[in-house]
């Protein structure tokens, strides 16, 4: 029997006049996402998107498509459906087969008419099909929390029969929310922050600061592996690697030790902002969470933000570490992030970092440094690469 995946949109179904544009972005993303996995034609109808699968598609091939679809922003949920003619007899026969292939004690029918030409309405379909399956299987009908929900969607003379929805990633389609530059460390937080912003439709590019040779090449590889996972959600990410040891050396040599981390961060923001300007990105993203560490007190966030003209988005600002860890597991970055590494910020950290810095203090300290030259040289030493999605093991949302 022919199989089709029916994709249901998330918030984009609400976007009035822009709907066509949102759907186009989603279709383009899906076409690129599925380029190298076997599937048939893709088309829009009745407010949904259908992806046909080969009639003889193997379960592993269907799973590969399903796994990828779970990473797509703008998707509320989807079903893997068997397609039959929109005719009551054919629908009953199809449901019988589906029920025979499903393990359940209780069930309900969730019927929807995408188009009105079918003679029965949703309620009548639910009743008639429910009674039919109950009569055949002697299983119990349960409206709340059944083991199996059999979906029946009628559109364009076809009926799509399914045995359970797959939850989508939610949010808005990639490419509908502008561009931002994320300051990505190898830690737990910044990948989650980037993901949250991507989920709102934004394309994110990444800047990572390293202190090679004081930090290892492995730390840079760790960032690439994290990006292999994050790229599943936007299909390829630009990674800018910035040498930071000279900036750190000067700060350590000439600035008061308690201010070091705040000053590192001010330089990172300046450099990331220069990258954003070149890339025409309109915001920066960081993984800061209020009060999590000394550099993330309100006072220090203010001292750090003061050097930026662009907004700094901090989607984790109100999250607890537990929330962030749970999110990292669902996204698939957790196992990589928790591996030991050396971040440049862990170098030369003073015993008693300032938690209540103010702007004057930071500016006086920087008056001892050649800020412009340090930023310029860091940018001159910067490299750019593209990290493609890595579909090998590891979780998706």
**Which residues contact ligand ATP (rule: CB under 6 A)?**
183-185, 187-190, 207-209, 268, 286-288, 292-293, 295, 343-345
> Which residue of this chain has its Cβ atom nearest to ligand ATP in the complex?
187
292 binds, among ligand ATP, Mg ion, none (CB under 5 to 8 A by kind): ligand ATP
Whichever of 94 and 187 has its CB closer to Mg ion, that residue is 187
Interatomic CA distance for residues 62 and 367, integer angstroms? 61
Whichever of 293 and 375 has its CB closer to ligand ATP, that residue is 293
Interatomic CA distance for residues 297 and 143, integer angstroms? 49
Q: Which residues bind Mg ion (CB under 5 A)?
A: 185, 187, 343
Minimum CB separation of residue 363 from ligand ATP in Å reads 20
Minimum CB separation of residue 125 from ligand ATP in Å reads 50
Whichever of 185 and 231 has its CB closer to Mg ion, that residue is 185
Whichever of 338 and 359 has its CB closer to ligand ATP, that residue is 338
- 3-state secondary structure labels for all residues of 192-248: HHHHHHHHCCCEEEEEEEECCCCCCHHHHHHHHHHHHHHHHHHCCEEEEEEECHHHH
Minimum CB separation of residue 147 from ligand ATP in Å reads 40
Minimum CB separation of residue 346 from Mg ion in Å reads 8
Interatomic CA distance for residues 138 and 136, integer angstroms? 6
Interatomic CA distance for residues 350 and 362, integer angstroms? 16
Whichever of 4 and 211 has its CB closer to ligand ATP, that residue is 211
Minimum CB separation of residue 201 from ligand ATP in Å reads 20
168 binds, among ligand ATP, Mg ion, none (CB under 5 to 8 A by kind): none
| Cβ-count burial 280-314 (b if 16+ within 10 Å, e if not) | ebebbbbbbbeebebbbbeebbebbbebbebebbb
Q: CB under 8 Å to 299, separation ≥6 — which residues?
A: 355, 356, 357, 358
């Amino acid at each position: 029997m022919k199989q089709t995946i029916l994709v249901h949109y998330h918030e984009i179904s609400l976007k009035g006049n822009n709907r066509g544009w949102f759907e186009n972005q989603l279709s383009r993303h899906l076409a690129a996402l599925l380029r190298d996995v076997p599937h048939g034609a893709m088309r829009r109808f009745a407010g949904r998107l259908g992806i046909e699968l080969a009639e003889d598609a193997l379960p592993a091939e269907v799973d590969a498509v399903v796994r990828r679809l779970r990473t797509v922003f703008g998707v509320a949920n989807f079903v893997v459906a068997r397609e039959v003619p929109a005719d009551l007899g054919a629908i009953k026969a199809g449901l019988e087969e589906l029920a025979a292939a499903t393990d359940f004690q209780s069930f309900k029918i969730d019927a929807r008419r995408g188009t009105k030409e079918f003679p029965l309405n949703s309620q009548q379909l639910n009743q008639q099909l429910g009674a039919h399956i109950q009569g055949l299987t002697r299983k119990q009908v349960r409206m709340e929390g059944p083991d199996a929900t059999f979906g029946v969607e009628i559109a364009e003379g076809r009926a799509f029969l399914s045995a359970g929805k797959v939850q989508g990633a939610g949010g808005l389609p990639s490419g509908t929310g502008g561009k931002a530059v994320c300051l990505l460390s190898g830690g737990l937080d910044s990948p989650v922050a980037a993901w949250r912003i991507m989920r709102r439709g934004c394309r994110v590019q990444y800047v990572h600061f390293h202190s090679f040779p004081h930090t290892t090449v492995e730390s840079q590889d760790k960032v690439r592996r994290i990006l292999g996972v994050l790229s599943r959600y936007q299909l390829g990410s630009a990674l800018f690697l910035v040498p930071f040891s000279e900036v750190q050396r000067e700060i350590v040599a000439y600035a008061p030790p308690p201010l070091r981390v705040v000053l590192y961060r001010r330089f990172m923001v300046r450099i990331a902002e220069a990258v954003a300007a070149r890339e025409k990105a309109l915001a920066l993203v960081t993984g800061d969470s209020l009060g999590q560490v000394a550099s993330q007190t309100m006072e220090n966030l203010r001292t750090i933000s003061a050097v930026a003209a662009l907004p700094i988005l901090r989607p984790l600002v109100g999250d607890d570490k537990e929330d962030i860890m749970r999110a990292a597991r669902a996204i698939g970055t957790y196992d990589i992030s928790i591996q030991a590494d050396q971040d440049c910020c862990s170098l030369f950290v003073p015993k008693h970092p300032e938690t209540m810095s103010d702007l004057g203090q930071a500016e006086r300290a920087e008056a001892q440094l050649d800020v412009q030259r340090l930023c310029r040289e860091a940018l001159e030493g910067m490299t750019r690469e593209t990290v493609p999605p890595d579909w090998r093991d590891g979780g998706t949302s």
